[in-house]
A and B are shown apart, each in its own frame.
Chain A
Amino acid sequence: MKNYAKLLEGKYAVVTNGGDPCGSAIVKKFALHGATVAFGVRDIETGERILGEIAELSPESFYLVLDLADSDGIEEFCRKVKERFPLTTVLVNNPYADIGKTITETTEEDYRYFLQVNQRSIMQTLRAFYGPMRDNKCGSIINISSNTVFKPIMGNPFLTLSMGTIGGLTRVTAFEGGEFYVRVNEILSGILPGQSELSPCPLKIEGSHVEGMADLVLFLASDMSSYITGQSFTVDGGARRQLFA
């Protein structure tokens, strides 16, 4: 019988963006369930605050300052994590690029920024952590994109574009990883980067929305989802399925 109160006991997990409301909920949930977590944050204050909250639960967890727009920084992050963790078996990619501009307002530079943060950063962490998972035949990778892929919002073309690439990458990695027991799944989140509430939807939910998201990530990271791979979960309170209100 599995211990459902410690679903990630003894596991080492990486969360690339542990600083925003959703990311920190994931880090805390992982720590609660017995994982040791390495997470990226954009500044030291955020890192210290979150670390303080999980220090008792997971004393070996640590943060590193990480800007997903800096590709050298990501390489450095991965190298440092690999030095400290014997084997990472859970990887959460939750990139955050989000600029409110229309197609005509955006520049080539904006485009590159979106692709680096929302797409290339995932490719970089996959290169770093997928190999060891494959060699050890154990791993769960969770890529968090946005439900704007299906329900675009006004004034954010590159969010939809860059997030739209994550699904394909997820399924390709799931194929490659399948025979090595590496599972890869995607979450199309109804919570926009940096926010803590779901966008409007048919389901009226009490309590914390980011907690709900963290529970889904926990499910996919743990053995509860042991035969689920290559899937895209839409977590938007039913907004995508709703034809008429």
Chain B
Amino acid sequence: MDYQCLLAGRSAIVTGGAGSVGRAVALLYATHGANVVILDEDETEVEKTVKDLREINQKCSGFAGNLRDPESIAQLCDYAINALGTADILVNAAGSYLPGDAETLEEDDFIAMLDKNVNSTIRFTKAIIPYMCDNRQGDIINITSDLATASMPGTAGIAACAGAIVAFTRNVTMDYIRYRVRANCIVYPFDGIEGRRPLTGAPGPEDVANAALWYACKMSRFIIGDMLPVNGGMDYFAGMRGE
């Protein structure tokens, strides 16, 4: 295995690829030899990231569209497959966070979060997985909030979305592992909520990107249906001594 070029020649689709984490994932994948297509909503941001990606690998590209709309997602997938020829890796990094507890969470906000986080993950997976089954190999990496494992006040919507994505990931694995399609999940404090955690500091986009690289490459070939928290151990955090 060439550890300097862990994704040589592989085709990767990164949704939310113009956001901070999606962008870090796309750039790291390109550095490791992957042909990357990013899909996101803001055209200017997509262009900016594609420019940086092409400095690493000319075969990278990006497309902008509405990630809440099923037809738009289907079209984006068509563009991505046309550009890449096929798809070996799908990273669902698109997502949004709006605050609120069960009472104060606005209906529109909740629906928006469901669309952007859960529905987009399911729709992209649905569109891309046939290509992976045909190839008899594929790696799906879903990135969401670590509120799937531990709770904080006022985050009802995103906690529900994250939990759904984790369970969906596990199920995809069991349904498609016979086609050698692996699915794994990365959770991190993506909502930007300041929480005390055992490990000093806060995770940067590069920390999440390295985890996404790990799940996409052969280094993790044993691991399926798993959830990796990149959150400094926050999910086990109960309180420091003397507090």
Binding site for B on A (CB under 8 A): 1, 3-5, 7, 33, 171, 174-175, 177-181, 183, 190, 198, 202-205, 207, 209, 212-213, 215-216, 218-219, 223-231, 233-238, 241-243
Contacts and interface: CB of A to CB of B under 8 A. Distances in A.
A205 B180 CA distance: 9
A183 B199 contact: yes
A219 B233 contact: no
23 contacts: A4-B3, A5-B2, A174-B199, A178-B198, A178-B200, A179-B198, A179-B199, A179-B200, A203-B224, A212-B221, A212-B222, A215-B221, A216-B223, A219-B219, A224-B211, A227-B201, A227-B204, A227-B232, A229-B198, A229-B232, A234-B226, A237-B222, A238-B177
Nearest to B208: A227
Contacts of A227: 188, 199, 201, 203-204, 207, 230-232
Contacts of B58: none
Interface in B196-231: 197-201, 203-204, 207, 210-211, 213-214, 218-226, 228-231
B173 interface: yes
Contact of B210 (A177, A203, A205, A226): A226
Contacts of B214: 219, 224-225
Interface string B127-168: 000000000000000000000000000000000000000000
Contacts of B82: none
Given A205-B221, A218-B219, A230 B198 contact: yes
Given A5-B4, A181-B200, A227-B203, A215 B219 contact: yes
Contact of A237 (B3, B188, B224, B240): B224
Contacts of A179: 198-200
A14 to B, nearest CB: 22
Interface in B229-243: 229-233, 235-237, 240
Nearest to B225: A241
B170 interface: yes
Nearest to A179: B200
A35 to B, nearest CB: 13
B116 interface: no
Contacts, number: 125
Interface range for B: 35 or more
B111 interface: no
Contacts of B220: 215-216, 219
A205 B203 CA distance: 32
A227 B177 CA distance: 29
B203, B220, B224 pick with most chain A CB within 10 angstroms: B224
Contact of B199 (A204, A209, A219, A229): A229
A142 to B, nearest CB: 14
B222 A198 contact: yes
B32 interface: yes
B31 A228 contact: no
Nearest to A183: B199
Contacts of A178: 197-200, 232-233
Contacts of A183: 199
Contacts of A5: 2-4
Contact of A231 (B197, B225, B228): B228
A229 B229 CA distance: 9
A179 B230 CA distance: 16
B222 A226 contact: no
Given A4-B4, A219-B220, A202 B174 contact: yes
A213 B222 contact: yes
B89 interface: no
Contact of A224 (B4, B210, B233, B236): B210
Interface string B173-203: 1100110101000001000000001111101
B12 interface: no
A182 to B, nearest CB: 9
Contacts of B94: none
A62 B201 CA distance: 36
Nearest to B197: A178
B224 A202 contact: yes
Query: Which 3 residue pairs across A and B have the least CB separation, nearest first?
Result: A178-B198, A230-B233, A227-B203
A213 B221 CA distance: 9
